[in-house]
Amino acid sequence: NAGVTQTPKFQVLKTGQSMTLQCAQDMNHEYMSWYRQDPGMGLRLIHYSVGAGITDQGEVPNGYNVSRSTTEDFPLRLLSAAPSQTSVYFCASSYSNDSPLHFGNGTRLTVT
Partner 1 sequence: GQQVMQIPQYQHVQEGEDFTTYCNSSTTLSNIQWYKQRPGGHPVFLIQLVKSGEVKKQKRLTFQFGEAKKNSSLHITATQTTDVGTYFCAVDAGNNRKLIWGLGTSLAVNP
Least distance to partner 1 from the beta carbon of 2, Å?
Answer: 14
- Applying CB under 8 A, among 43, 65, 82, 95 the residue interacting with partner 1 is 43
Which among 7-15, 16-24, 64-72, 100-108 is the span making contact with partner 1, rule CB under 8 A?
Answer: 100-108
The Cβ-side half-sphere exposure at 51, using a 13 Å CA radius, reads 1
The verdict on 84 binding partner 1 (CB under 8 A) reads no
Is 46 in contact with 34 (CB distance < 8 Å)? Answer: yes
Whole-number Å distance between alpha carbons of 11 and 1: 26
Q: Alpha carbon 110 to chain centroid distance?
A: 15
- Interface residue with partner 1 among 45, 61, 82, 86 (CB under 8 A) is 45
Residue 62 makes contact with partner 1 by CB under 8 A:
no
